[in-house]
């Protein structure tokens, strides 16, 4: 495929660039929608990789010595078909003398070059000097390490990790601790981690959660190198692993982890990883929404690309019900029921909200319609407009209409309109981040305005800013925290605290560095370089205030943590958390979820947990 291609976002129609990644989906920069990349436009899979010869290795090393790291990464990807993250790891380790070409291995009938985690002789010496000595010393090291690895394997096979001889190798203070390289005993020495989820159950940082992740075992001799793995963060041990593919997605429940590889669904025991059931859908999972694969009570609900919603029994995988729908890209869980928004058969421009119980019975169905201010003709909601369901599962909130809009609440218990209010603000379509429901209030944000509706049905614009797009984040004690993006002049992101009683801006926190947020819309993407001033950030309302975490590479790789006072925006004091990573370039971090005041992230494919209450690193992979 070409290095760069453009396709149209099916949600908002905006152009979306494909940068040659092997990932099956990309995110629209304009509306945050997940787009399924056509099979023919994806880059080479691992089974299609071609070998790297000695001259190729030399060329890549020369490029890194000249400072052309990005060009070296591009060259590796062109020659091997590696993904961006994998090629970056390869170049980083080759440059730092941590990897050396190893005898070629066969994979799916093709010969590929793999790498070893063995430290090359002359660590800290220039790569050119290292290469000069690798022929004589390197060969001897491989032989010695092979003997040691065999000895370690034999020791563990005889008595396990608890026997005294094995402890000589694993104990940090044992006499052999400095002889055996850590990479030999570390289960993550050659593993890249992706798409992390916190397994439900842990409530605070003292209760160490289990992580479920998609992992790439780079030097695995197995034919299937992609795995779904479970990691116990209290011990940093891999509890189990299950084979999957680069295009797989998954959802984690308290008892079952469900993986989807195209149209194939597999239910794995969340504790052991054992396969409990396997089934096939009518089509592959839709790439249009995160909730297209969900666990709803005792059901697994999947929306496939042919617009079929299928519900399976979570324990057996048996099909309970299925339903063909039209024009849908969102699913909500309401207790043990599913809420669908789809187009009506008779009027393709009208949205129908349908509630379905666990056995597939239609509980109720109702259309969404209103007459905005200044208009005589009624408008209808579209499936792609802004919607939200409250935490109790009793209310559906809708915001739609242009140039004027309606903000409404529907009672899901009766299917009737609870209240409706008209506003002159323009509703934001295709944006799940445009609405926040807190208690009996709903806040909606878009271009230039924030709109609020309360339990009485009163709808009002509480703030108008001409030069900003505004997204509500959270609300507490009369203060609404919003994320604002300045569109006039030099663009930048800001956080505001808004007094909802007066509409007055209490404080403003400015992100004046390049980079961007870790959450859509306008989620940051690309690579974080040591030579750039970029910082990537996230923010959330925690018990102690508004927590802000910045990830930066300059002057050192670190996380900067501020907790802002909700009333005045003053920081309690910035805490700097040093992080360790030798990579020249870091991929954009991925949020795995908040656990009280602690945020879990994947940074350069490794999990971290930041305790914003103490400004400390609560967890990192050893």
Each residue of 558-578: pLDDT tens digit?
A: 999 999 999 999 999 999 999
Strands 535-542 and 515-517: parallel
The pLDDT value recorded for residue 222 is 53
Instruction: Name the residue with tokens 């940068």.
Output: 19
The pLDDT value recorded for residue 9 is 66
pLDDT tens-digit profile of 46-82? 444 556 777 788 788 888 777 677 788 888 887 777 7
pLDDT tens-digit profile of 431-486? 767 899 999 899 999 888 999 999 899 999 999 999 999 999 999 999 999 999 99
- Among candidate residues 526, 575, 534, the one with its CA nearest the CA of residue 554: 534
pLDDT above 90 covers what percent of the chain? 36
Taking CA 537 as the corner, what is the angle to CA 509 and CA 399, rounded to the nearest 5 degrees? 75
Mean pLDDT of the chain: 77
For residues 47 and 82, give the distance between their C-alpha atoms in angstroms, rounded to a whole number.
Answer: 10
Instruction: Name the residue with tokens 């436009």.
Output: 41
Instruction: Name the residue with tokens 């379905």.
Output: 356
192 vs 454, higher pLDDT: 454
Is the predicted pLDDT of residue 374 greater than 90, yes or no?
A: no
SS (H, E, C) 566-611: CCCCCECCCEEEECCCCCCEEECCEEEEEECCEEEEEECCEEEEEE
Q: For residue 148, what is the DSSP state?
A: H
- Max intra-chain CA distance, the chain: 86
**Contacts with 111 (C-beta within 8 Å, 6 or more apart), sequence order:** 51, 104, 105
196, 198, 204, 205: CA torsion to nearest 10: -40
- Among candidate residues 67, 68, 90, 92, the one with its CA nearest the CA of residue 80: 90
- Burial profile 343-380: b = 16 or more Cβ within 10 angstroms, e = fewer: beeeeeebbbbbbbbbebeeeeebebbbebeeeeeebb
Do you know the residue count of the chain?
Answer: 622
Peptide bond into 555 cis (omega under 30): yes
**Contacts with 548 (C-beta within 8 Å, 6 or more apart), sequence order:** 495, 509, 537, 538, 539, 561, 562, 563, 564
Is the predicted pLDDT of residue 509 greater than 50, yes or no?
A: yes
pLDDT above 70 covers what percent of the chain? 71
Rg value, the chain, Cα:
26
Whether 99 contacts 142, CB under 8 Å:
no
For residues 608 and 612, give the distance between their C-alpha atoms in angstroms, rounded to a whole number.
Answer: 12
Distance from the Cα of residue 577 to its chain's centroid: 22
Q: What number is the average pLDDT over the span 296-321?
A: 92
- Report DSSP letters for 211-241, one per residue: EEEEEEETT--SS--EEEEEEETTTTEEEEE
Considering 92-96, 273-277, 533-537, 605-609, the range whose residues carry the highest mean pLDDT is 273-277
The pLDDT value recorded for residue 246 is 80
- What residues form DSSP beta bridges with 213? 229
Considering 98-102, 156-160, 297-301, the range whose residues carry the highest mean pLDDT is 297-301
Give the DSSP H/E element, type plus range, for residue 88: helix 84-95
Handedness of CA 467, 472, 478, 479 (dihedral sign): negative
Is the predicted pLDDT of residue 122 greater than 60, yes or no?
A: no
- What residues form DSSP beta bridges with 16? 7
Q: What number is the average pLDDT over the span 103-120?
A: 37
The pLDDT value recorded for residue 82 is 74
Is the predicted pLDDT of residue 3 greater than 70, yes or no?
A: no
Q: How many other C-beta atoms lie within 10 A of the C-beta of residue 331?
A: 22
Q: How confident is the model at residue 206 (pLDDT cuts 50, 70, 90)?
A: low
9 vs 222, higher pLDDT: 9
From residue 554, alpha-carbon distances to 37, 492, 529, 535, 536 in Å are 34, 19, 9, 9, 12
**Contacts with 139 (C-beta within 8 Å, 6 or more apart), sequence order:** none
430 vs 510, higher pLDDT: 510
- What residues form DSSP beta bridges with 437? 442
- Among candidate residues 182, 16, 44, 151, the one with its CA nearest the CA of residue 108: 44
The pLDDT value recorded for residue 41 is 59
- Among candidate residues 68, 84, 65, 63, the one with its CA nearest the CA of residue 4: 84
User: What backbone phi and psi angles, to 5 degrees, belong to 16?
Assistant: -125, 130
Strands 606-611 and 337-343: unpaired
* Structure tokens, 75: 């060259």
The SS3 of residue 341 is: strand
Q: How confident is the model at residue 28 (pLDDT cuts 50, 70, 90)?
A: low
pLDDT tens-digit profile of 73-84? 888 887 777 777
Taking CA 238 as the corner, what is the angle to CA 237 and CA 239, rounded to the nearest 5 degrees? 105
CA atoms lying within 13 Å on the CB side of residue 43: 23
173 vs 598, higher pLDDT: 598
Whether 241 contacts 222, CB under 8 Å:
no
- Report DSSP letters for 492-521, one per residue: EEEEEEEETTTTEEEEEEEE-SSEEESSSS
The pLDDT value recorded for residue 312 is 96
For residues 407 and 462, give the distance between their C-alpha atoms in angstroms, rounded to a whole number.
Answer: 14
From residue 348, alpha-carbon distances to 21, 342, 344, 366, 375 in Å are 35, 9, 5, 15, 21
The pLDDT value recorded for residue 33 is 57
Whether 109 contacts 46, CB under 8 Å:
no
For residues 371 and 326, give the distance between their C-alpha atoms in angstroms, rounded to a whole number.
Answer: 24
- Among candidate residues 116, 118, 174, the one with its CA nearest the CA of residue 141: 118
The pLDDT value recorded for residue 348 is 57
């Amino acid at each position: 495929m070409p290095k760069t291609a453009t396709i149209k976002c099916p949600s908002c129609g905006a152009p979306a660039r494909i940068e040659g990644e092997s990932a099956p989906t990309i995110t629209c920069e304009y509306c945050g929608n997940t787009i399924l990349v056509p099979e023919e436009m994806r880059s080479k899979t691992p089974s299609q990789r071609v070998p790297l010869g000695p001259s190729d290795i030399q060329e890549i090393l020369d490029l890194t010595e000249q400072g052309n790291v990005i060009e070296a990464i591009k060259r590796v990807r062109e020659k091997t078909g590696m993904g961006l993250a994998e090629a970056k790891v390869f170049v980083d380790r080759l440059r730092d003398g941590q990897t050396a070409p190893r005898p070629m291995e066969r994979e799916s009938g093709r010969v590929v070059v793999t790498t070893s985690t063995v430290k090359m002789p002359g660590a800290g010496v220039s790569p050119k000097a290292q290469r000069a000595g690798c022929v004589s010393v390197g060969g001897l090291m491989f032989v010695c390490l092979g003997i040691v690895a065999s000895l370690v394997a034999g020791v563990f096979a005889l008595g396990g990790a608890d026997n005294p001889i094995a402890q000589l190798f694993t104990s940090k203070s044992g006499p052999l601790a400095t002889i055996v390289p850590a990479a030999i005993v570390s289960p993550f020495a050659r593993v890249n981690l992706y798409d992390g989820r916190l397994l439900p159950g842990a409530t605070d940082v003292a209760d160490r959660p289990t992580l479920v992740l998609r992992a790439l075992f780079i030097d695995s001799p197995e034919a299937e190198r992609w795995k779904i793995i479970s990691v116990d963060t209290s011990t940093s041990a891999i509890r189990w692993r299950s084979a999957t593919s680069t295009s797989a997605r998954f959802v984690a429940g308290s008892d079952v982890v469900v993986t989807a590889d195209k149209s194939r669904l597999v239910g794995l025991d969340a504790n052991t990883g054992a396969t409990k059931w396997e089934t096939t859908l009518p089509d592959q999972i839709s790439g249009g929404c995160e909730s297209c694969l969900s666990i709803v009570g005792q059901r697994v609900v999947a929306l496939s690309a042919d617009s079929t919603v299928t519900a399976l029994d979570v324990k057996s995988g048996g099909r309970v019900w299925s339903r063909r729908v039209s024009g849908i890209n969102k699913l909500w869980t309401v207790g043990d029921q599913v809420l669908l928004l789809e187009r009506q058969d008779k009027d393709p421009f009208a949205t129908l909200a349908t509630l379905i119980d666990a056995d597939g019975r239609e509980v109720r169905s109702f259309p969404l319609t209103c007459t905005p201010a200044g208009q005589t003709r009624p408008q209808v909601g579209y499936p792609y407009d802004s919607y939200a369901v409250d935490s109790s599962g009793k209310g559906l909130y809708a915001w739609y209409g242009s140039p004027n809009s309606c903000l409404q609440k529907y009672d899901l218990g009766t299917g009737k309109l609870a209240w409706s209010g008209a506003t002159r603000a323009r509703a934001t379509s295709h944006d799940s981040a445009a609405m926040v429901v807190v208690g009996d209030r709903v806040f909606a944000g878009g271009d230039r305005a924030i709109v609020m509706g309360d339990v009485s049905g009163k709808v009002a614009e509480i703030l108008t800013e001409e030069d900003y797009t505004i997204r509500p984040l959270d609300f507490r004690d009369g203060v609404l925290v919003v994320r604002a993006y300045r569109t006039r002049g030099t663009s930048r992101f800001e956080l505001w605290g808004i007094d909802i009683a007066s509409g007055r801006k209490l404080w403003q926190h400015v992100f004046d560095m390049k980079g961007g947020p870790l959450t859509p819309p306008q989620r940051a993407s690309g690579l974080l370089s040591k030579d750039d001033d970029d910082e990537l950030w996230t923010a959330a309302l925690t018990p102690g205030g508004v927590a802000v975490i910045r990830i930066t590479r300059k002057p050192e790789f670190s996380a900067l943590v501020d907790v802002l006072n909700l009333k005045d925006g003053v920081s309690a004091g910035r805490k700097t958390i040093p992080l360790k990573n030798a990579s020249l370039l870091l991929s954009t971090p991925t949020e795995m979820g908040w656990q009280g005041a602690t945020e879990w992230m994947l940074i350069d494919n490794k999990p971290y947990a930041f305790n914003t209450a103490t400004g400390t690193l609560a967890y990192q992979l050893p």
